[in-house]
Amino acid sequence: MFQNNPILMQLKNQLQKKTLQVEGIVKSTSKGFGFLKVDSQTTYFIPPKNMKKVIHGDRIIGSVQKINNKEIVFPKKLIKPFLKRFIGSVHKHNNSIYIQPRYPYIRDITFHKYKTTIKRSWKNGDWVTAELCQHILNNNHNCFCIKILKFISEKKNPLLPWHVILSKYNLEKKSPKVDFLNFFPQNISNNDRLDLTNLDFITIDNNYTKDIDDAIYVEETNTNHLILTVAIADPTEYILVNTEIDNIAKQRVFTNYLPGLNISMLPKKFSENLCSLQPHVKRPVLACKIVIDSNGKIEMKQTNFFLAWIKSQSKLSYDDVSDWLEKSGKWKPKNKRIEKQILLLNKVYIVRNSWRKKYALLFKNYPEYTFHLSKKWEILDISIDRKRIANKMIEESMISANICAADFLDKKLGFGLYHAHSGFNDFNIKNVVKFLKTYNILYTSEELMTISGFCKLKRSLDILSDEYVNYRIYRFQSFGEICTVPKPHFSLGLSSYATWTSPIRKYSDMINHRLIKSVIKGCKNISPPDSTLISHIVERKRKTRMAVRKIEEWLYTNFFHSINYNNQNYYAYIVDIFGSGINARLLKNGAFIFIPLKYIHNIRNEVICKPEYGVVYIKNKIHYKISDNILVHLLYINNITKKIIATLVK
């Protein structure tokens, strides 16, 4: 009777005209509802029922309708999906298979309409790689459709955390393997290499290190000058450009050092055997002879790069050498020649470290945390490790060698792969000067834009010894970069810096090896590295860093599940402030924890977090800031996000 009523039809048309069409990004919440963010100031509510048609991060067009005086979005059209390829776990329910994506903001969506070419009887807890084939807004089946691309791991696999995270970042799960039959040391010509096998070269590494890439020999002159010869394993003698192994290394870029697991860049028969500077075995090297005066300054004009043969006389460990120098423990060098090399190397460290402290900058000796795992990949312990004297001796030698490489490449070619850091940019420098002034630290913008001024600032901050000030200055700094032309490295206080001392672990170092060798051999028309390769190196470095962090998070949650963490409190230091709470790190084992606002102060409107300043206000007074030590109690672990939630103990 009302079907063709002209008044009702007119009213319906008027309502449709008033329906607002908006485009924005979907933001989900842990409570099932969400929002459509149109711009920085405009958002619309999406109720739980409508959220089932979209995924967090989707760009959509929706219609806004006013219901009970509340503007609600009804998703209508997909512009760009957020979820494409993803990692997920299999869940079986009522003889049906569902895939749960491993993303913190995609908690309430499971996919059951799928296709795959994998022939497998799926088990509960299996992990897979999948991709979204059809979005619910783009089909008539009222569901999301996916394709399972790859099986990753079973739930019971002890290497599950490693395999899942590496798959997420598209990183390799195993060291490469290639045909090794065509590679033999005798293929190398002796004509262009100096024979230094009679010299007392030594190596110092961890006890478990097999891919030994550097050896050291030191001698002292009558004028108190030290002559440091750094010999670096030379994989480029076997691995030619664009061969199978070279392309593998170029793709992988790094040996991936993960908690409890190392995945090498090169096949292990190369990195741990043929190229490794094992004791008492003749090996080809690229060497650099460095003359250091009594004040620790490198005599650059006397630096010499050359090809050589060496034979390491002893494989020493950091802990043994450190114990001996610190006069503790039972270990001692096996003969006077090795003892002499250790003592001379310590001299190199002392004078070079003193020079860098005065004329450049030193690394901060932050603690590192090491997971100790059983043969069954169970966490036995987490130890705190700091660099000891032997570690610093080798590090100082490698830094000296890298300084020489940068100088060599700059003078001989004008290009290479350089690590650079520009300090502060033009945008932040005024804020730096203004912030320092509040602490009565007075610098001009022009002064801080020079290496000498930057170094002077860093030394004055070391004297001030305020970690909060250091953090704020650090946040103002530019990011480091890799470039093909020499640029200053402000954070090291150096005019240029190019690494070449780990060619069996880093492809960028292998590139610099080839460039240095090309000059030594008198090659013509040497080409600089291309920008595409640099982008690939940077991206792989980012993915590797993220993978390490995510694996650590997973292992920490496993560790705390294995102990009764509710019975004790932990000391921590604040590492970051977010709008939603405090991020801190436990001093005892290095685990990152999160303290939401409600566990900072019980009256919500009295607490304000200011990430840009790294502080937390309570009742308009600063109560917490980055670098503060705090006492916390662990509340619970979110097994999906692998986040450890804690509360402050007051």
Pairing of strands 70-80, 59-67: antiparallel
What are the angstrom distances between the C-alpha of 309 and each of 190, 277, 287, 304, 404? 8, 11, 9, 15, 21
The number of residues in the chain equals: 650
Q: Are 636 and 595 in contact (CB under 8 A)?
A: no
319 is catalytic: no
211 is catalytic: yes
CA angle 26, 32, 36 (to 5 degrees): 20
505 is catalytic: yes
Distance in angstroms (rounded) separating the CA atoms of residues 24 and 481: 34
246 is catalytic: no
Distance in angstroms (rounded) separating the CA atoms of residues 164 and 545: 15
User: Which of these is catalytic: 200, 214, 323, 628?
Assistant: 214
Burial class (CB in 10 A: 0-12, 13-18, 19+), 94: exposed
User: Which of these is catalytic: 58, 126, 211, 407?
Assistant: 211
Sign of CA dihedral 530, 532, 538, 544: negative
User: Which of these is catalytic: 283, 352, 356, 505?
Assistant: 505
User: Which of these is catalytic: 58, 126, 205, 407?
Assistant: 205
369: CB partners within 8 A, 6+ apart: 382, 383, 384, 385, 589, 590
Distance in angstroms (rounded) separating the CA atoms of residues 361 and 358: 8
Q: Are 402 and 230 in contact (CB under 8 A)?
A: no
User: Which of these is catalytic: 58, 126, 213, 323?
Assistant: 213
Pairing of strands 214-220, 194-195: unpaired
Burial annotation 572-585 (CB, 10 A radius, 16+ → b, else e): bebeebeeebbbbb
**H or E segment to which residue 514 belongs:** helix 507-520
213 is catalytic: yes
Pairing of strands 379-385, 418-420: unpaired
User: Which of these is catalytic: 105, 238, 318, 624?
Assistant: 318
Alpha-helical (H) ranges within 527-600 are 531-561
233: CB partners within 8 A, 6+ apart: 212, 213, 214, 275, 276, 277, 283, 285, 503, 504
443 is catalytic: no
Residues marked active site are found at: 205, 211, 213-214, 318, 505
